[in-house]
Amino acid sequence: MKYAFELKSVKRYYGKIKALDGVTLKAEEGKIYGMLGPNGAGKSTIVKILSTLIEPTSGIAKVNGIDVAKDPSSVRNAIGLAGQFAAVDDFLTGRENIQMVGQLYGLKGSVAKQRADEILEKLGLQDSADRQVKTYSGGMRRRLDLGSSLVGRPKILFLDEPTTGLDPRTRKDLWEIIRNLAREGTSILLTTQYLEEADELADMIAVIDYGKLIAEGTSSQLKSKLGGDMVEFELKNKFDFNKALLSVEKFCNQNRQADEAELTIKIPVKNSAEDLLTVTKMIDDSGIKPTNISLHKPTLDDVFLSLTGKKPQIEEQKKPRRGKH
Binding site for ligand ATP (CB under 6 A): 14, 17, 19, 37, 39-45, 84, 193, 321-322
* CB closer to ligand ATP, 36 vs 120: 36
SS3 for 70?
Answer: coil
* CB closer to ligand ATP, 151 vs 207: 207
Nearest distance from residue 178's CB to Mg ion, in Å? Answer: 17
Task: Report the alpha-carbon distance of residue 252 to residue 268 in Å, rounded.
Answer: 8
Task: Answer with the entry of Mg ion, ligand ATP, none that 149 interacts with (C-beta below 5 to 8 A by kind).
Answer: none
Task: Report the alpha-carbon distance of residue 247 to residue 224 in Å, rounded.
Answer: 26
Contact 183, 191 (CB under 8 A): no
* CB closer to ligand ATP, 19 vs 151: 19
Residues 223-242 close enough to bind Mg ion by CB under 5 A: none
> Which amino acid is residue 152, in one-letter code?
G
* CB closer to ligand ATP, 150 vs 206: 206
Nearest distance from residue 160's CB to Mg ion, in Å? Answer: 6
Neighbours of 108 (CB within 10 A): 10
Task: List, edge to edge, every strand of the sheet that includes 187-192.
Answer: 79-82, 156-160, 187-192, 32-36, 204-209, 212-217
Nearest distance from residue 48's CB to ligand ATP, in Å? Answer: 8
Nearest distance from residue 83's CB to Mg ion, in Å? Answer: 9
Task: Report the alpha-carbon distance of residue 263 to residue 240 in Å, rounded.
Answer: 9
List helix spans (H) across 5-130.
43-50, 72-78, 94-104, 109-122
β partners of residue 189: 33, 158
Under rule CB under 5 A, residue 247 binds Mg ion:
no
* CB closer to ligand ATP, 50 vs 125: 50
Residues 66-105 close enough to bind Mg ion by CB under 5 A: 84
Task: Answer with the entry of Mg ion, ligand ATP, none that 83 interacts with (C-beta below 5 to 8 A by kind).
Answer: none
Task: Answer with the entry of ligand ATP, Mg ion, none that 193 interacts with (C-beta below 5 to 8 A by kind).
Answer: ligand ATP
Nearest distance from residue 83's CB to ligand ATP, in Å? Answer: 10
Contacts by 313-319, CB closer than 8 A, 24 or more apart? 313/38, 313/39, 313/193, 314/193, 314/194, 315/39, 315/164, 315/165, 315/193, 318/39, 319/39
* CB closer to ligand ATP, 107 vs 157: 157
- Sign of the Cα pseudo-torsion (105, 175, 137, 160, in order): negative
Task: Answer with the entry of Mg ion, ligand ATP, none that 41 interacts with (C-beta below 5 to 8 A by kind).
Answer: ligand ATP
Contact 227, 71 (CB under 8 A): no
Q: In terms of Cα–Cα distance, which of 302, 293, 299 is closest to 235? A: 293
Nearest distance from residue 315's CB to Mg ion, in Å? Answer: 11
* CB closer to ligand ATP, 43 vs 256: 43
Point out the residue whose Cβ comes nearest to Mg ion: 44
Residues 32-61 close enough to bind Mg ion by CB under 5 A: 43-44
Nearest distance from residue 41's CB to Mg ion, in Å? Answer: 8
* Strand-pair category, 156-160 with 79-82: parallel
* CB closer to ligand ATP, 16 vs 169: 16
Residues that bind Mg ion (CB under 5 A): 43-44, 84
